[in-house]
A and B are shown apart, each in its own frame.
Chain A
């Protein structure tokens, strides 16, 4: 099922640099995202994984400038297609949103306005960014209407005549120039046209999620961020919706960041994976590398804990981030849980080490000066 996709061009469409986000609490700031940097290439799908609380959603909201108080961005740079998002004024940011960066939200169940029809919620985003410029005025429509009305023909059934009248009247009064465009969007995400006039509560969970996807790509944004877009759905629907997401992405040609915790599902849909732990990216690599050859000890634990039907294995990873997020340990953030940690890990924060093409890992073991230690450690694992 996991067919190989080409990784797209080399043009960077999203450049996150040194981004840091804190949450203010009475006991001091919680470091949610700690100086992370990564790039997203044009046409690429990047997966952002990690356990809950690792800062992956906060990263997404940071990129979108949607961090809710008491959270705030401490520093960093977010460039989309050469535009520095953090330097935009409020009105510039409003216009930039959804055309530059769009969001497929986490809780699609509650992400649609309950008192607006599906069509209105897609129309409003199109209209607020593209304006109503090309609309026919009421007078133009009236003249069309007047041209169309006619006397009933002799012998014509009354029902047919009245039906035509009604259609013309609807065109006059309920003019919906975006209808075709929205139907196209529906088709792209596999929604039936009949939901056009429905309210969110009349849709199933999967349908709502599809509406969110249709909405997310309606303006062909540069980057779409899908934040746990499938987590609330049941397993079957999850797969189908994820598949839809990839298809739409390929069809419309946007770049995509998928945030999730389901390594199995992500493996199916992303090109590259960034593994986050306690607000840091510990490893970032093409998806096949991560699964075939995970380098960071944390990634290894994560890959090891993917359940398999073929064998029953004990869970090696313990739950949760063990240190106080207000007061992280010195040096490597993972050293408290790392099976390979040694004194050096407490002294210095590991840099991003480029192991091979597009494969970076933040672990001292991959520093050339500790090569011996690495081979010993991995040998010990292999033997056990």
Chain B
């Protein structure tokens, strides 16, 4: 009723913008902490690989001038921040002259789609299973089957991806091993066939995340449900003679889901990290694969840009969850915490 408290919103926004600032600054500082400057370092790496780079000194000087590395650091920093504000992430050096922002904007939707759908599945399935584990009226068989399904819990998604792609992609050959859609499509199109292909290709990567993650949520939910079963209002709910299923979802799940939402916000960072690696395994055309190629191509600009955008996306996801939290917990709006 009271609506969102201003204090709460302000604090969340503060965390959001500070996160962006810290991430951007880190990305600015890190290459400058390394011995030498980034350009020299990069050319050194190039010559390491190619054996010899012609006119290395000239190249270094030219690029330094071009990227403004001869300016004082604070000028560089301000220029860098200004560019970031305009979403100008510079050029991908190895794929000159593609702007980083263009590569990123092609890859980002795939990652958001993959992680978003996987999150939706594991959060729903996990909480449902956890609730059923704790509920006293769950059939015995279900209570035995659910823990068995949780065997993969806590294995990193990357390893689960390896196993899945080997079994279902290689041995059984029922799911594709790589890419987000069939290679016969030149570019994404809005047809049923294409969507089918995307689902077919996305299934294993999503499962790699879901299989190893939902167990955590089931365990957390179970713990919350057990706590709630001891609350005074549960005794009253029982005394009121409400229907058991109604008590389950309106009294137990409704209250147990609140801390789970908080936990979801906290786990976004880990989740994004995990999905980056899953993408590498499946060569999925999202941000993870983009980073992996950038690492191989020693394209520091692309690594920076991709990482920064992924951090922004994560922070945005956390912000959305945090801001939607008061909508499901009526107590937050008043306490303003």
In the complex, are the beta carbons of A199 and B246 less than 8 A apart?
Answer: no
Any A CB within 8 A of the CB of B1: yes
Any A CB within 8 A of the CB of B243: yes
- Which residues of chain B come closer than 8 Å to A66, judged between CB atoms? 235, 238-239
Any A CB within 8 A of the CB of B32: no
Q: A110-B232, A115-B255 are in contact. Are A94 and B330 (CB under 8 A)?
A: no
Any A CB within 8 A of the CB of B175: no
Any A CB within 8 A of the CB of B331: yes
- Which residues of chain A come closer than 8 Å to B251, judged between CB atoms? 113
State in angstroms the CA–CA spacing of A199 and B332 once bound together: 12
Any A CB within 8 A of the CB of B250: yes
Q: How far is the CB of B67 from chain A (nearest CB, A)?
A: 54
Any A CB within 8 A of the CB of B240: yes
In the complex, are the beta carbons of B330 and A128 less than 8 A apart?
Answer: no
Q: How far is the CB of A119 from chain B (nearest CB, A)?
A: 12
Segment from A72-80, A96-104, A161-169 that makes contact with B:
A96-104
In the complex, are the beta carbons of A201 and B334 less than 8 A apart?
Answer: yes
- Which residues of chain B come closer than 8 Å to A198, judged between CB atoms? 1
Any A CB within 8 A of the CB of B236: yes
In the complex, are the beta carbons of A97 and B255 less than 8 A apart?
Answer: no
Q: How far is the CB of A218 from chain B (nearest CB, A)?
A: 9
Number of A-B contacts (CB under 8 A): 83
Interface residues on B, range: 20 to 34
Q: How far is the CB of A213 from chain B (nearest CB, A)?
A: 12
State in angstroms the CA–CA spacing of A342 and B240 once bound together: 47
In the complex, are the beta carbons of A197 and B1 less than 8 A apart?
Answer: yes
- Which residues of chain B come closer than 8 Å to A111, judged between CB atoms? 232-233, 235-236
State in angstroms the CA–CA spacing of A125 and B334 once bound together: 27
Interface residue tally for chain A (C-beta within 8 Å): 34
- Which residues of chain A come closer than 8 Å to B241, judged between CB atoms? 93-99, 125, 128-129
In the complex, are the beta carbons of B233 and A113 less than 8 A apart?
Answer: yes
In the complex, are the beta carbons of A199 and B239 less than 8 A apart?
Answer: no
Q: A97-B239, A128-B241 are in contact. Are A115 and B232 (CB under 8 A)?
A: no
Any B CB within 8 A of the CB of A55: no
State in angstroms the CA–CA spacing of A327 and B194 once bound together: 76
In the complex, are the beta carbons of B250 and A107 less than 8 A apart?
Answer: no
Any A CB within 8 A of the CB of B329: yes
- Which residues of chain A come closer than 8 Å to B258, judged between CB atoms? 115
- Which residues of chain B come closer than 8 Å to A348, judged between CB atoms? none
Any A CB within 8 A of the CB of B237: yes
Q: How far is the CB of B259 from chain A (nearest CB, A)?
A: 12
Q: How far is the CB of B223 from chain A (nearest CB, A)?
A: 18
Known: A66-B239, A96-B241. 11 other contacts (CB 8 A): A64-B239, A93-B241, A94-B243, A95-B241, A98-B240, A102-B240, A103-B236, A103-B239, A114-B233, A115-B255, A198-B1
> 26 A-B residue contacts at CB 8 Å?
A97-B238, A98-B239, A98-B240, A102-B239, A105-B235, A105-B236, A110-B231, A111-B236, A112-B233, A113-B233, A113-B237, A113-B251, A113-B255, A114-B233, A115-B258, A115-B328, A115-B329, A125-B241, A125-B242, A128-B241, A128-B243, A198-B1, A199-B331, A202-B1, A202-B334, A215-B240
Interface, chain A (partner B; CB < 8 A): 64, 66, 68, 93-99, 102-103, 105-107, 109-116, 124-125, 128-129, 197-199, 201-202, 212, 215
